[in-house]
Amino acid sequence: MKIKLDENISRHLKSLLKQEGHEALTAAEQGLLGKTDIEIGAAVKTERVLLFTLDLEFADLRKFPPGTHPGIVLFRPLSMGPLSVNRFILEFVKVTDLTSLAGCIVVVDPTRVRIRRPPLDTDGPEWEEIN
């Protein structure tokens, strides 16, 4: 799976994700440091990659409705230290089929995973919770 690491995630996670069989790109190596969330979202859409971020703004369904992007995974670890964040993300990646998250907004916290899938009807999607 191709993944873009937002600028708020350590670039060192890239090699760990590669060990798990994923291709990771960092916002820094693509010249996206300091860009707006809308610009990052547009890059993710153009490149058709899943975005990993710590930025709450990406969970805004009005700005990033499910189904209008390749997928956004927002991580909410207890500790924001780079090593703790990397460990938290890697644990999620090891137990998750990332391809099943295409087009979704996913919020991962220490006790649950909430998934907002693209709408199947006009009523819109509901949050799906996985414990």
Name the residue ranges covered by the structural domains of the chain: 2-130
The pLDDT value recorded for residue 129 is 72
Average pLDDT over residues 5-34: 94
Tokens of 69: 């992007």
Q: Give bridge partners of residue 14 from the DSSP assignment.
A: none
- For 56-95, b/e burial (b = at least 16 CB within 10 A) is eebbeeeebbbbebbbbbbbbbeeeeeeebbebbeebbee
Confidence of residue 102 (pLDDT cuts 50, 70, 90): very high
The confidence score (pLDDT) of residue 98 equals 97
> Quick check: pTM over 0.85?
yes
Amino acid in position 41: G
89: pLDDT strictly greater than 80: yes
Which of 58, 73, 66 is closest to 107 using CA atoms?
73
d(CA 66, CA 79): 27
Contacts of 78 (CB under 8 A, 6+ apart): 84, 110
Average pLDDT, integer, range 51-64: 95
